[in-house]
Amino acid sequence: MNDSSSWACPVKHAAEPQRVSLAHGEGGSSMRRLLEEHILPRFDRLSSLPLDDAAVLPQIDGRPVLTTDAFVVSPLFFPGGDIGTLSVYGTVNDLAVRGAEPLWLTLSLILEEGFSLQLLDRVLESVAEAARRCRVSVVAGDTKVVPRGAVDRLFVSTTGLGRLIEPGPSGSATIEVGDVLLVSGPIGRHGIAILAAREEMAFEPPPESDCGPLIEAVAALRTAGVRVRAMRDATRGGVTAVMHEWARDCGGTLVIEEERVPISSDVRGVCELLGLDPLNVANEGTMVVAVHPDDAESARSALQCVSVCARAARIGFVRARGLLPVVVKRGIGSERPLLEPSGAPLPRIC
């Protein structure tokens, strides 16, 4: 017979002041207060709707485009952003580079018991501000609380829905020999910013993430009439991962011209110190674009007119498939293979 003295209620009803408790995730009055006092007031669309199980959305003009992502970055706050901005920009950018206008987001929070409500408020403010900047509405959400140690403080998931603006990018399978490759700005900034913040490296000023929206950059290409073959935000795996995916899809060899790749001095310094290849380091507001060769200059000019893309550059081209799918061409004319990363050099970056 079991010893009843060892029994314990799995739900703590007495919430710690200013801390998330398990009761906040159990659907009762504590959860209602969490929603009413911390979450709903920050999102106009959510606060104006009844708390139904699903949001009914207006009809849209065009084909719907859907994406979803989860964010587990450590630390939660870093120079240039935090998990809140990351969760909005990451999903919005996935829609934008697919040629869609982002319209709506869902927001799912997984909170560790004991997480500071003050920090939660800061994250939610970041989500709300980023959504306003991108002109998207958060229309549905979910909140779960798990016991201490089950997650690292806070995980966020967002799903984004938008409408395709025709004609969208023709796709990486349509990349042809002679096409030109561009990057919208200096590479590797997000990964190095996360590394420096996590390891408390004493840089002054600290490296700053490129975490931000790509909507304006994509719109600039569209307005300029650029024939875009493919666009990708170069997140985990960096530029290298995108190049290998495109090489596989199109069957050509993608050539990166090393001297053309924009790299900020702080990223270059950290990479040289730690033996990292900047091409493998993650970005969060920088994309790679493949365009028709006749449109290369107009694409570069259009991107450079967007403030965050002032250092946009041509970084390479596509040639007939040789022995290797992706190579880096050095200034002296020699080439080295650019191997596909088998894993991210830095974990928990997004």
pLDDT in tens, 178-233: 999 999 999 999 999 999 999 988 888 999 999 999 999 999 999 999 999 999 99
Nearest-5° Cα angle at 182, 178 to 183: 160
For range 241-269, the mean pLDDT: 97
- Predicted confidence at residue 333, as pLDDT, reads 86
Token pair in block for residue 17: 């002041």
* Three-class SS state of 192: helix
Spell out the residues 6+ positions from residue 316 whose beta carbon is closer than 8 angstroms to its own.
180, 181, 254, 255, 256, 257, 260, 329
Spell out the residues 6+ positions from residue 120 whose beta carbon is closer than 8 angstroms to its own.
20, 38, 111, 154
- Predicted confidence at residue 17, as pLDDT, reads 64
Q: Which residue has the tokens 């999903």?
A: 91
Q: How confident is the model at residue 8 (pLDDT cuts 50, 70, 90)?
A: very low
- Predicted confidence at residue 16, as pLDDT, reads 57
310-344 burial, b for 16+ CB within 10 Å, e for fewer? ebbbbbbbbeeeeeebbbbbeeeeeeeebebbeeb
For range 134-152, the mean pLDDT: 96
- Predicted confidence at residue 150, as pLDDT, reads 96
For range 8-27, the mean pLDDT: 71
**Lowest-pLDDT range of 15-19, 130-134, 146-150, 157-161:** 15-19
Longest dimension (CA), the chain: 81
Residues 95, 131 contacting (CB under 8 angstroms)? no
- Predicted confidence at residue 7, as pLDDT, reads 46
Q: What is the pTM of this model?
A: 0.92
User: Strands, E, within the chain: which ranges?
Assistant: 64-71, 77-78, 81-82, 100-112, 137-146, 154-164, 180-183, 228-233, 253-257, 287-291, 313-319, 326-329, 335-337
| β-strands 313-319, 228-233 pairing | unpaired
pLDDT of 10 over the 80 cut: no
- Predicted confidence at residue 169, as pLDDT, reads 96
Residue with more model confidence, 18 or 345: 18
Size of the chain, expressed as the number of residues it contains: 350
Residues 184, 309 contacting (CB under 8 angstroms)? yes
Q: How confident is the model at residue 80 (pLDDT cuts 50, 70, 90)?
A: very high
| β-strands 287-291, 228-233 pairing | antiparallel
DSSP label at residue 159: E
